[in-house]
Chain A
Amino acid sequence: DVKVTQSSRYLVKRTGEKVFLECVQDMDHENMFWYRQDPGLGLRLIYFSYDVKMKEKGDIPEGYSVSREKKERFSLILESASTNQTSMYLCASSRGLDRSPLHFGNGTRLTVT
């Protein structure tokens, strides 16, 4: 079974802090994704990556950056956290080339105070 692991289940940070959300997958997947989930808005794509060191903006990239130095790890970075970034963050991965389903981590609930 594919395992996608997010380093923290809950996180509380202060406004202005730099925040790192880490995600690791163990199935050698090419594609990795960061989504944000808010009530009534569903899941919205922040950034995605289809290969090491490659990254593409999703629908809501403002205020975020990402890093993919190794194939199995995809990090989401909030350079200066703000209260409107309080949300649930979901990482996912998928095999490339065959439109395989996404496999998700358990999510990180981030609160910015």
Chain B
Amino acid sequence: AQTVTQSQPEMSVQEAETVTLSCTYDTSENNYYLFWYKQPPSRQMILVIRQEAYKQQNATENRFSVNFQKAAKSFSLKISDSQLGDTAMYFCAFMKGTGGGADGLTFGKGTHLIIQP
């Protein structure tokens, strides 16, 4: 079974700062996918970024980037030039690479990120 650990229950930064959210995971799988989802107060879960474990290059999406350290089983999310709209719960999630994703995602407990004006 997989486990995902987010060690920061809550973080608060000033607008325009850079913030890094931590995520570690444990698995015996060699082929897998990692995700960061954002859940704003509207409750809609929004995919932020996705990383394939077989790719060494870190994924980026505009102001969002990851630091993927496969050997250390670490998958942190960096948000640059943070904006008020980034205030949300952030969930790190793991998907096995086999089985077509039919058994879904394993989630961490989440980090509540607050961007202060």
Q: Which residues of A contact B (CB under 8 A)?
A: 30-31, 33, 35, 40-45, 48, 50, 56, 58, 88, 90, 92, 94-102, 104, 106-107
Contact = CB atoms under 8 A, between A and B. Distances in A.
A37 B102 CA distance: 20
Contacts of B110: 42
Nearest to A108: B43
21 contacts: A31-B101, A31-B104, A35-B104, A35-B107, A40-B109, A42-B6, A43-B91, A45-B105, A48-B103, A48-B104, A58-B103, A94-B101, A96-B100, A97-B100, A97-B101, A99-B33, A99-B95, A101-B47, A102-B45, A104-B44, A104-B45
Which 6 pairs from chain A and chain B are nearest by CB?
A104-B45, A50-B102, A42-B109, A99-B101, A43-B107, A97-B100
A107 B50 CA distance: 22
Nearest to A51: B102
Q: Is the interface of B mostly helix, strand, loop or mixed?
A: loop
B105 A106 contact: no
Nearest to A44: B107
Given A30-B102, A42-B91, A99-B101, 18 more contacts: A30-B100, A35-B104, A40-B109, A41-B109, A45-B103, A45-B105, A48-B103, A50-B102, A90-B45, A96-B100, A96-B101, A101-B35, A101-B47, A102-B101, A104-B44, A104-B45, A106-B43, A107-B43
